[in-house]
Chains A and B, each alone.
Chain A
Amino acid sequence: MVATANDRAPGPAGSGLNDDIGEDKRLALYRSQVRLRDSEQRAFDLFLQNLVKGTSHLSLGQEAIAAGFAEAMVKGDLSFCTYRGHAHTLARGVPVEKVLGELMQKDNGLMRGKGGSMHLTSEEHGVMGSYAIIGAHLPIACGAAWRAQYRGDKDVSVCFFGDGTTNIGAFHEALNFAAVWKLPVVFVCENNLYMEYTPIKDVIPIPQPAADRASAYGLERILIDGNDADIVYRTAQKAFARARAGEGPSLIECLTYRHSGHSRADPAKYRPEGELEEWKKHDPVKLYRERLKQFGVKEDVIAEIDASVRKEVDDATEACKAAPSPPLDIITTDVYADGGWAWRN
């Protein structure tokens, strides 16, 4: 259904498939997507039970983008995420317990409850923060890429954001800045067709919010099927190679759809009837399970992956339920680099 993809698999005779990706990587892409799916579904269930507090923004339906990019990254590459950042954080290898713990505002959470679901950060995994002010992290990713350029480091900064984010000033400042300075940064627009509750098509004068703006920054127009992890993975690899070679930034628009509402328990009544059902036919996890079978991966291998992911999510859930709340004495820590909060003598 989402046909526009300028980076389809080349495909040997007749099959429409090729194995440039290799079985190990394909299994990793599958495992990652299932892990994101199960974790997000669990987060939603826990939200309904009032065990996930505050807010949460799920990536159900958008897993192929997080998995595809993360699997193409190597250690040292940096992820800059939004409030819809659980999936990107998990995809870099952060344990499910750490993420669910933060969502449940427990002491075992990634930031011990001091950040919350919108600010997941795990620098040891290259997750350089999740940003909840629309567009703020695009310039920040430029800065990390500038450091790499300045020092001759080979890492790439990868910045994820939504379709709605292409309408804020920081998007345009960052794209121009990155292009002029030729920075090793990759901008990934997850076009899930909605900015909160408003269809993106109602608030842009062009069909594609990111791809149709690429030319304004001298960049290639890249529009891909964001529900096909293979396509995402290949596109990521190309963009990363370009960045590492000093050829500058890329802007990649990935077409996708969120199966859940915008946040919390949003029932997403603003969607036309049947739209979700259509997109569910193009569910990235289902699609990829079929892909594995086409490549001859045995059912029991797939079932084993499903079961081990389920176990990680179940164990994490139990650990989080049992975990204590954070101690109140950390309220005033880490305001300043000396570890405290003193603003006077």
Chain B
Amino acid sequence: MAEISYRDAVTRGIAQEMTRDPDVVFLGEDVAKPGGCFKATVGLYEQFGGVRVRDTPISEQAILGAAMGAAMTGLKPIAEIMFSDFIAVCFDYIANEFPKARYMSNGQTKCPLVVRTANGAGSRFGAQHSQSVENWCMMIPGLKVVAPSSPIDVIGLMAAAVRDPDPVIFFEHKSLYNSKGDVPDGEILDTLGTAKILRAGKDCTIVALALMVPRALEAAERLRIDHGIDCEVIDVRSLVPLDTKTILASVAKTHRLFTVEENPRLCGWGAEIVSIVADEAFYDLDGPPVRITTPHIPLPAADIMEDVVLPTPQRIMETIKRSLGA
């Protein structure tokens, strides 16, 4: 067991899989010799060499297209898109190519690849380098979508994503790279499509993702101390497949649902979860489900502005307190 950073967990997860399987290759801009824009892949080039860890031109379509062609013909590529916002310039592969190939070919074509990308706000980079765009991918049939919140989940879900036979979009959170957590020695392998109950509680269910997970945990702790409210906190981890069982079971127990989403309001993943709960657990609810999100605006760059638009522990706490009438 050792305490490592989320950033180092990315390197360790990739290294674990590259060591295990010679078909795993890694490509992206500045990922090899420079070790990545966020220094999340330092040492991979030295460990695995330039044939398996390759720097590319600034050509996001070429990066994802090449990953797909390699995956179709037998490799297991991991491709980096430096900032998740840049998915917009290669969205054809994410929306039209990866997820449709198997279906359109009636099962002939495979596409086992991972796109990993730095998602989310907190770096004061402004509206084109800070977005939470997991919902851009969640809406596409044929993709799998994960977003870990801790170092151990980064490694375990990375391993699961690399070994998965379907295309997986792997969202790392920029503001979590410096966060730390305990990680056991040896191989770590997790399961896609499983949410984790990080804190058990009986008064309400808070469902969160990525950077919103530590914020939800902090809010839950303060609600307990200050107001005696006992929150259950679920880290969704995987948007597709979605572990609705864990969420529905929690709502059946607590009778209240809150989602905490970093994305702008419209069509965030929380809307889907709320809709599923409304459809299937309406009579378990003692009050309306509540979504806590970033408002529907582009993200401002300045620290004081960015800080107020993202859901904070304070806002989460106040919203829950008010909703529960405490």
Contacts and interface: CB of A to CB of B under 8 A. Distances in A.
Interface of A: 78, 110-112, 114-116, 119, 121-123, 128-129, 131, 133, 135-148, 150-151, 157, 169-170, 173-174, 176-177, 180-181, 330, 333-339, 341-345
18 contacts: A111-B105, A119-B105, A123-B109, A136-B65, A139-B61, A139-B68, A143-B68, A143-B70, A143-B72, A150-B51, A150-B70, A170-B62, A173-B59, A176-B62, A177-B57, A337-B164, A345-B241, A345-B242
B198 to A, nearest CB: 19
Contacts of A141: 69
Contact of A121 (B52, B108, B241, B276): B108
Nearest to B54: A181
B161 interface: no
B65 A170 contact: yes
B73 A147 contact: yes
Nearest to B142: A335
Q: Is the interface of B mostly helix, strand, loop or mixed?
A: mixed
B54 to A, nearest CB: 8
B25 interface: yes
Given A129-B72, A131-B97, 20 more contacts: A128-B69, A129-B104, A136-B96, A137-B65, A139-B61, A143-B67, A143-B70, A145-B69, A147-B75, A148-B73, A151-B74, A170-B65, A170-B92, A173-B61, A174-B61, A174-B65, A176-B59, A330-B106, A336-B102, A345-B245
Contacts of B108: 111, 121-123
Contacts of A151: 74
Interface string B124-147: 000000000000000001101000
Interface in B88-118: 92-93, 96-97, 101-110, 112
B61 A170 contact: yes
A343 B141 contact: yes
Interface residues of B, number: 53
A144 B109 CA distance: 13
Given A142-B62, A142-B65, A343-B241, A123 B105 contact: yes
Contact of B104 (A78, A114, A136): A114
Interface string B161-195: 00011100000000000000000000000000100
B242 A343 contact: yes
B56 interface: yes
B42 interface: no
Contacts of A131: 97
B105 A150 contact: no
A174 to B, nearest CB: 6
B277 interface: no
B69 A345 contact: no
Nearest to A168: B61
Contact of B107 (A122, A139, A333): A333
B103 A335 contact: yes
A141 B61 CA distance: 12
Contact of A337 (B102, B104, B193, B245): B102
A336 B142 contact: yes
Nearest to B89: A169
Interface in B36-62: 51-52, 54, 56-57, 59-62
Given A146-B69, A174-B62, A115 B106 contact: yes
A143 B65 contact: yes
